[in-house]
Structure 1
Amino acid sequence: MGPLVEPVTSAERLPPQADVVIVGGGIIGTSAAFSLAQRGVNVALCEKGHIAGEQSSRNWGWCRRMGRDPRELPLSVVALRLWNEMHQLVGEDVGFRPAGILYTCDDDAAVGRRETWLKLAGDYALDTRMVAGAELERLLPGSTRKFRAALYTPSDGRAEPQKAAPAIARAAARRGATILTQCAVRGIETAAGRVSAVVTEKGRIACGSVVIAGGIWSRLLCQAQGLRLPQLAVRASVMRTAPVEGGPETAAWTPHFAFRKRLDGGYTVADGSANRYDIVPASFRYLADFFPVLKLEWKHLELRFGGRFFEEWGFSRRRSPGEISAFEKVRVMDPAPVAHQLEHARRALEQTFPVFKGVAIAQQWAGLIDALPDTVPVISPVDKLPGLFLATGFSGHGFGIGPGVGHLVADLVTGTKPVVDPSPFRYARLIDGTRPNPYTGV
């Protein structure tokens, strides 16, 4: 079972009309709803389960600029600014603390990769720097390992995934947005060649624009519209500990484990590198798209064939808007955590930081990351269908850049000058023969 997420009260009635309908109540959808509502746009958000029920509450909680793909850096700067203002913006504490993040280096090769990123980041590096020696030991008190060095960003931070998207959704509702939970979107209607409405399990909402921000479910909704979206799902496992006295304040990544402190005094912990990929029918359809990134990440992925193949086979069947959809059959995707990956991370953490020895593991869970072939999201209008916008494929980066994405989505939908250049995130790159270019710097 996933972590306990703060509740959000659903609107009692389905609105007959909205300017914009957002599909998906994770960090991306709620941030977009909030940004649109701030601008006075009549927006409705439809979530098939509960707000932040899937990956938006199951991630590490890191809010970082450091180590980003250079294409994401401008947007991550916007996001960090918004995270720093979030308490004031939404009127609630979402747990954001600029406690810093470290990427440790065991050898000169790792140091070289981090230094290369610093050069690529240029002015976007801001306060990021390499640290070593006594300064690194101070940032990682109690460590039994002497790391060669680390890339360090003091202004990067952490927030609480179980609090953030719900707080943003509640703030959006206070500004006039309609937040609908247990309300799956079954399909999108068109008229005169553009979006005209969404059909939900509770009825129809007329609208001029639709934003698909459904995480791993976005591909199915696009498929129903005849749109090709080469998106697959990667299973990432996480655990949280009971409170720990004397642990590090700064979040850190190593090849074997990663951690960050929580508001409750415990720690969120994961394997630093390993994830599992469950083979599904779409794996074969998009094999050529993902081949470049598979070559890069092969040693970090566990491939498995099992029940998810047949589950997704059933999801892919075309249904009429009057039928119960796959989105209703699975209100919250709740995959089992990969136990041996978490045990590996726990052992490595205890060996490096003895303060964690014997600390109880309070909970373990897994989530599915929506991944694209070049590991860069699509945040874009769809030229083929005016009024349709996509915000998906965040490849494990969505929580940290979520507030910035919401701002950019609102810009695109309203025709405002974009807060950053949106061209790296265009949908067309996924269907026009552009060769996927996954970032290899870190």
Structure 2
Amino acid sequence: MTKMLDAVHTTNELPDSTTIVIIGGGIVGITAALTLAERNIPVVLLEKGHIAGEQSSRNLGWIRKTSRHANDVPLAQAADRLWAEMPERIGQSVGYKQSGIMFLAKTDEQMALYEAWSKSVQPLALGSQLLSPKEIDKHVPHGQGQWVGAIYTPSDGRAEPTIATSAIAKAAVKKGAIIVQQCAVRTLSTTAGKISGVVTEKGEIRCEQVLLAGGAWSRRFLGNHGVSLPTLPVIASVLRTAPVEGPTEIAVGGPDFSFRKHKDGGFIIMQRGKVDAPITLDHLKIGLKFRDQLKHGKDSLNIAFNGTFFRDLAMPRSWHANSKTPFEHVRVCEPKVNHGLLNDAMNNTISAWPMFKNTKIEESWAGLIDVTPDSTPVIDRIKTLPGLTVATGFSGHGFGTGPAAGQLAADIVSDVPPIVDPSPYRFDRF
């Protein structure tokens, strides 16, 4: 976990009842809680560990529309607006800056993909630009990389994961939401076939609806209730440098590295071309659903059979309300950092922009990302469990769209017109 995460102090007392229970204290669940509190709807958010302890504080902080599926772009556009409004809404900066994001192409094939994407979203007027090598050097000077071109979206931006979710959580509490940390939800309670509460390790809360925003844990939770959510885990390793004079405020993604400016003057860097994909039992159970992703992205997956498989195998997949659950055994998931990938990322960054040479690394961490077969989340009611809504499977995009995704989930559970068309996020598409 990054050592810069801003802690949130909350109550330890569990209320007897509420209108809506949210499971999961990441960016999506917390923003949903804020939205519901602002609507004066009683809401209790339960987090098995601590707020933003997993991927919501471990991501790159990018807020982007570039390279998203066309039907996912409206959610990203709505998120842009909500990120810009957030400081006034919650009374605190979240480090948001509309500084732009640029993706570099080293080959004609890569550039063709960016050109095709740019054409596919042209009606959405995103302001994305296809750049020549000279234009790249103008925006990000002092580079030595041999680039065919790039795609650049000036309206993309960044925020700080170590402060954003925590700041939103504090505002949600001030506006009436109840947040309880170190409190795992074990099972759902039903009455006459409909959700009527949740059973936690500290007791039961009666409620009318439940929103599950449990990230990579959502599949296991739903599996205990007979619902198969098709997500698989990947692990991304990330580093933060000491303050350094960098080439630009623009976030830059190359084929095998990425960097963006951090609020303290350093840079957040990762090996963009590679993530770890340790084999688990779920790969054997639902792996065929991911065959298209594997076919097109196999070079970016560092697939390994290691101890992760056996640790996952030993973790229960079904349990009763009076049983200790996996969520109590693992309060905060701490994946192992792949220092080899981070060394590659740093070396590749230095090769492209030598001004990063001799930069000191302040810290490194890893985060577990839940990926769906089409890299698009599920934000939908679960028809087989009336009263349950799911917002999960964000496939590494959850922080950037988090405020809009959380509001969309809140719209669904409170039955108001949705902030965007929810149809791309239907559960039944699988």
CA deviations over 1:2-51 (Å, ceiling 9, x no partner): 44310111123111111111110011111111111111111111001111
Equivalent position of 1:287 in the other structure = 287
Query: Which deviates more from structure 2 when the two are superposed, residues 377-386 or residues 146-155?
Result: 146-155
> What is the 5 A alignment of 1:265-284?
265-284=265-284
Aligned-partner SS, 1:362: strand
Aligned-partner SS, 2:348: helix
Equivalent position of 1:379 in the other structure = 379
Equivalent position of 2:151 in the other structure = 151
CA 1:146/1:307 → structure 2, altered by over 3 Å: closer, same or farther?
Answer: closer
CA contact (8 A) 2:220 2:317 kept: no
Q: Which consecutive segments of 4 or more residues in structure 1 shift more than 4 A?
A: none
CA contact (8 A) 1:2 1:334 kept: no
How big is the shift at 1:90? 1.3
Name the aligned partner's letter for residue 332 of structure 1. V
Name the aligned partner's letter for residue 113 of structure 2. R
> What is the 5 A alignment of 1:175-324?
175-324=175-324
CA distance in 2, matches of 1:247, 1:122: 29
Query: Which deviates more from structure 2 when the two are superposed, residues 370-379 or residues 127-136?
Result: 127-136
Equivalent position of 1:71 in the other structure = 71
CA distance in 2, matches of 1:252, 1:112: 18
How big is the shift at 1:125? 3.9
CA contact (8 A) 2:183 2:200 kept: yes
> What is the 5 A alignment of 1:34-53?
34-53=34-53
CA distance in 1, matches of 2:107, 2:227: 45
CA distance in 2, matches of 1:411, 1:365: 34
CA contact (8 A) 2:337 2:366 kept: yes
CA distance in 2, matches of 1:3, 1:233: 23
How big is the shift at 1:124? 2.1
CA 1:152/1:317 → structure 2, altered by over 3 Å: closer, same or farther?
Answer: closer
CA deviations over 1:82-109 (Å, ceiling 9, x no partner): 1111111111111111111001122332
CA contact (8 A) 2:188 2:199 kept: yes
Q: TM-score, normalised by structure 1?
A: 0.95
CA contact (8 A) 2:11 2:180 kept: yes
CA contact (8 A) 2:12 2:181 kept: no
Aligned-partner SS, 1:238: strand
CA 1:383/1:3 → structure 2, altered by over 3 Å: closer, same or farther?
Answer: same
Name the aligned partner's letter for residue 37 of structure 1. A
Matched, 1:106 2:113: no
Aligned-partner SS, 1:291: helix
CA distance in 2, matches of 1:173, 1:123: 40
Name the aligned partner's letter for residue 96 of structure 1. Y
CA contact (8 A) 1:261 1:267 kept: yes
For structure 1, which runs of at least 5 residues remain unmatched after alignment? 431-442
How big is the shift at 1:133? 4.4
Equivalent position of 2:405 in the other structure = 405
Equivalent position of 2:326 in the other structure = 326
> What is the 5 A alignment of 1:338-417?
338-417=338-417
CA distance in 2, matches of 1:281, 1:147: 40
CA contact (8 A) 2:211 2:388 kept: yes
How big is the shift at 1:161? 0.5
Query: Which deviates more from structure 2 when the two are superposed, residues 126-135 or residues 158-167?
Result: 126-135
CA deviations over 1:381-417 (Å, ceiling 9, x no partner): 0111111001111111101000010111111111111
Name the aligned partner's letter for residue 211 of structure 1. L
CA contact (8 A) 1:237 1:365 kept: yes
Aligned-partner SS, 1:286: helix
CA distance in 1, matches of 2:228, 2:109: 39
CA distance in 1, matches of 2:199, 2:205: 7
CA distance in 1, matches of 2:191, 2:88: 41
CA distance in 2, matches of 1:411, 1:131: 39
CA contact (8 A) 1:30 1:169 kept: yes
CA distance in 1, matches of 2:386, 2:41: 18
How big is the shift at 1:155? 1.1
CA distance in 2, matches of 1:239, 1:415: 41
CA contact (8 A) 2:28 2:398 kept: yes
CA contact (8 A) 2:23 2:213 kept: yes
Q: TM-score, normalised by structure 2?
A: 0.98
CA 1:104/1:43 → structure 2, altered by over 3 Å: closer, same or farther?
Answer: same
Q: Aligned pairs, how many?
A: 430
CA distance in 2, matches of 1:148, 1:287: 35
CA contact (8 A) 1:3 1:58 kept: no
CA RMSD of aligned residues (A): 1.2
Aligned-partner SS, 1:18: coil
Fraction of identical pairs, as percent: 43
How big is the shift at 1:148? 2.3
Equivalent position of 1:418 in the other structure = 418
CA 1:82/1:284 → structure 2, altered by over 3 Å: closer, same or farther?
Answer: same
How big is the shift at 1:215? 0.6
Equivalent position of 2:28 in the other structure = 28
CA contact (8 A) 1:3 1:365 kept: no
Name the aligned partner's letter for residue 414 of structure 1. S
Name the aligned partner's letter for residue 85 of structure 1. E
How big is the shift at 1:169? 0.7
Query: Which deviates more from structure 2 when the two are superposed, residues 252-261 or residues 286-295?
Result: 286-295
CA contact (8 A) 1:118 1:125 kept: no
